[in-house]
Amino acid sequence: MALSLLLVPPLIGGVLLLLVLRGTPARLCGAVAALAAALSLVGAVLVSTGRPRIDTAWVPSLGLRWSFAVDGIAIPLILLTAALTLLVVLHSRGVEPPGGTPATFYGAILLTSFGALATFTVRDAIGFYIAFELVLVPMWVLIGRFGDEHAPAAVRTDAANRFLLFTVTGSAFLLVGLILLVTLTGTSNLDQLAAAAGSSLSHGQQVLLAVLLVAGMAIKVPLWPVHTWLPPAHSTAPTAGSVLLAAILLKMGTYGLVRVAIPVVPDGFATIAPYLAVLAVVGIIWAGLACLVERDLKRLVAYSSVAHMGFVVLGLSSGTQTGMQAALFGNIAHGVVSGLLFMVVGRLKSQWHTADLESVPRALRELSPRYGFALVVGFAAALGLPGLIGFWGEVLSVYSAWTAAASRPSGLFQVCAVVAAIGMALAAGYSLRVLRQVWAGEAASTEGSAADPARDVSGVEWAVVAAMVAAIVLGGLLPAPVLATTGDDVARLLTASSTAGGMP
């Protein structure tokens, strides 16, 4: 029941908007979407407390089951997705989406949310794949149709197609991997697969499966060097699209690693983990450096996402519970922080008609103190400042790499820890660069003149931004609830995989 409340409103709402309410004005569409998102959020809260489970036959001839469940690993992501969908819908209020009807715009948001929520709750390998793929089309519409109206149509199409083709390529690996997995083990139930922990598979089979599954997820995360779809997608996408992309879609990749790869083929994952860790820290440094010279604010935030997700993957590769906890926490943190940053940066771009760091009309701190404050909090969190939500995931990820599991090459992982720590300093570099240019006004073209009259954020929009800021501060000051939610299931998952034959 609670699960239905979580999943059905965004699905029905999305379909309704796309098919029935096509011509309706933006206000009504927004209201419908907000209602659906709010119901879904109620459902999210209910499933978080009740942790329901559904398991009935779906396609008996194929052995597929209609299997949904909620556990501690998924709860933070479900809450994040449902809450951010509502916030994004509210934040889009009063914006007349260019390039298409408001109904399509809100419908695409709701369907993206539905796909993500289904991904986080489904417990069938094939169902997982379907849900995983479901978000692509509405997101493609958001980027290609509703993207930056200042960009030429060719740029928008290129960004949208890039996004689609990269992720579909990843999905091809994922699909092959999943089908192979189901054929070899004879079940598509993810819980059974996790409980078996690959014990019926040979080492070679495990490694092959791990490579296929991880390759599929890595493009979505995205891991260096398959990250080049992300900056164009973000710089083109509308604010709502950027927020959903960063806060939710990228998380599906890391969630997939936790749910479908690590517990299912633990032995195979252990074999490729060192390579993953190296790619992750290369991504941290690579993206951090790119941010130091990137001039487009939205691309900069996108590159910083690559760096942050690098910490998440590093934690997962370490094979420790601390690492997985750090990764799951970092996931949430990045969702909230990049969500806030894209909201602020997106609004700045639409006000200034440019996202160029070097041409800021006036110090944001003077022009719009509230947005200025939000930008400071956002970038402070992005550089991993303690007391804000970004700190825990990154510092614990470094710790987990330093103390990687016994099955990992410890010297290599300690080097990775050092490199990741250097990446944290790079994050400080690019964050302060943005604040100096935009917030403090180093790049300001006018000194204190009223060329562009100040229009500070207010009303619902400010409430949304303030809620994000509050989440960043609360998550930083009180990390215990999130860590406690994920703790038990992380322990179970990793213990099962190490006892059921994970160790060769």
Partner 1 sequence: MTSSTASTFAQLLVAVPVLAAVVSLILARSAPGASRAVSAVTAVLGFLVSVGLLVNVPAEGFAAATTVGPLQVGELKVPLELLVDRPFAVVALAVAFVVACIQLYSVWYMATDPRGAVFQAIVSMFGAAMLLVVLSGDLLLTLIGWEVMGWGSYLLIGHHTFRRSARRAAMKAFLLTRFADIGFVLGIVALAAQTGTTRLAVIFEHFGEGAAAPTAALVLMLIGIAGKSGLIPFHDWLPDAMEGPTPASALIHGATMVAAGTVVVGRLFPLYAESTDARLVLAVLAAATTVYTAVMAFTQNDVKKLLAYSTMSQVALMLGALAAAPAEEHGAAGLDHLVSHAVFKALLFLGAGWLAAIGGGTAFALLRGRMKGWGVLPVSFGLGLAALAGIPPTIGFVSKDGVVAAAREGTTTGAHIVLYATYLTVFLTAMYATRAYLVLVSGDPEEPDHHDDSHTPPPTGSSYTLVAGVIGTLGLLSLVGGAAFLVQGAHIDPTVAAVSVGIALLGVLVSWALSRRPGGDPATVLSESWARATQVNLGTDRVYAGFAAGVVALARVVVRLDNAVVDALPRGLASGATATGGAADRAHRGVPSTGLLAVLSGGLIVLVLGVALWR
Contacts to partner 1 by CB under 8 A = 162, 165-166, 224-229, 286, 289-290, 292-294, 320-326, 363, 365, 369, 380, 383, 385-387, 391, 395-396, 398-400, 402-403, 417-418, 421-422, 424-425, 428-429, 432-433, 436, 439-442, 447-448, 477-480, 483-484, 487, 490-491
Residue with Cβ nearer partner 1 (237 or 420): 420
CB atoms within 10 A of CB 96: 9
The 10 Å CB-count burial string (b at 16+, else e) for 474-501 is ebbeebeebbebbbebbebbbebbbebb
Instruction: Indicate if the alpha-carbon torsion angle 74, 76, 82, 88 is positive or negative.
Output: negative
Residue entry with tokens 């960004």: 159
Residue with Cβ nearer partner 1 (173 or 229): 229
Give me the least distance between CB of 427 and partner 1, in Å please. Answer: 9
Give me the least distance between CB of 479 and partner 1, in Å please. Answer: 6
Residue with Cβ nearer partner 1 (155 or 180): 155
> How far is residue 430's CA from residue 43's CA, in Å, rounded to a whole number?
39
Give me the least distance between CB of 320 and partner 1, in Å please. Answer: 6
Residue with Cβ nearer partner 1 (42 or 289): 289
Give me the least distance between CB of 436 and partner 1, in Å please. Answer: 5
Give me the least distance between CB of 478 and partner 1, in Å please. Answer: 6
> How far is residue 40's CA from residue 278's CA, in Å, rounded to a whole number?
38
Residue with Cβ nearer partner 1 (24 or 161): 161
Phi, then psi, of 68 in degrees rounded to 5? -130, 145
Q: What is the 3-state secondary structure (H, E, C) of 27-87?
A: HHHHHHHHHHHHHHHHHHHHHHHHCCEEEEEEEHHHCEEEEEECCCCCHHHHHHHHHHHHH
Q: Is 229 helix (H, G, I), strand (E, B) or coil?
A: coil
Give me the least distance between CB of 473 and partner 1, in Å please. Answer: 9
Per-residue DSSP letter, 200? T
Give me the least distance between CB of 263 and partner 1, in Å please. Answer: 15
The CB-side HSE value for 104 (13 A sphere, CA atoms) comes to: 17
Give me the least distance between CB of 15 and partner 1, in Å please. Answer: 32
Give me the least distance between CB of 293 and partner 1, in Å please. Answer: 5
Got the DSSP string for 131-195? Answer: HHHHTHHHHHHHHHHHS-TTS-HHHHHHHHHHHHHHHHHHHHHHHHHHHHHHHHHS--BHHHHHH
Residue with Cβ nearer partner 1 (19 or 451): 451
Residue with Cβ nearer partner 1 (149 or 456): 456
Residue entry with tokens 């510092």: 395
Q: Is 121 helix (H, G, I), strand (E, B) or coil?
A: helix
Residue with Cβ nearer partner 1 (102 or 222): 222
Q: Which two tokens stand for residue 118?
A: 């289904």
Residue with Cβ nearer partner 1 (354 or 403): 403
Instruction: Indicate if the alpha-carbon torsion angle 7, 230, 256, 401 is positive or negative.
Output: negative
Give me the least distance between CB of 86 and partner 1, in Å please. Answer: 24
Residue with Cβ nearer partner 1 (96 or 447): 447
> How far is residue 390's CA from residue 305's CA, in Å, rounded to a whole number?
12
